[in-house]
Amino acid sequence: MGIVKISDNLHNEIRKASAIWTRSINAQAEYWIKIGLLAELNPQLNYNQLCKKLLQTQPLTLEALARE
């Protein structure tokens, strides 16, 4: 586990989103990182398709995310 330095503004946005989705702040940040990584690796997929791919990818690794 590591430490990621982010701006106070982004931290506040993560805090707000985590309250809405009933996730911890860390879990919300991790979710956004995973979705963002998936979006970069699969620009042809929409949000729903990205979520489906995320749910089907266990354990989550860069190699698994890059697979079609």
pLDDT digits (tens, 9 = 90+) for 8-22: 999 999 999 999 999
Three-state secondary-structure class, residue 57: coil
**39 within domain boundaries:** yes
State residue 60's pLDDT score: 64
CA angle 60, 47, 10 (to 5 degrees): 75
**3 within domain boundaries:** no
**1 within domain boundaries:** no
**37 within domain boundaries:** yes
**2 within domain boundaries:** no
Does residue 29 contact residue 14 with C-beta atoms inside 8 Å?
Answer: yes
- Which range of residues forms the domain containing residue 45? 8-66
pLDDT tens, position by position, 7-63 = 999 999 999 999 999 999 999 999 999 999 999 999 999 999 999 888 887 666 677
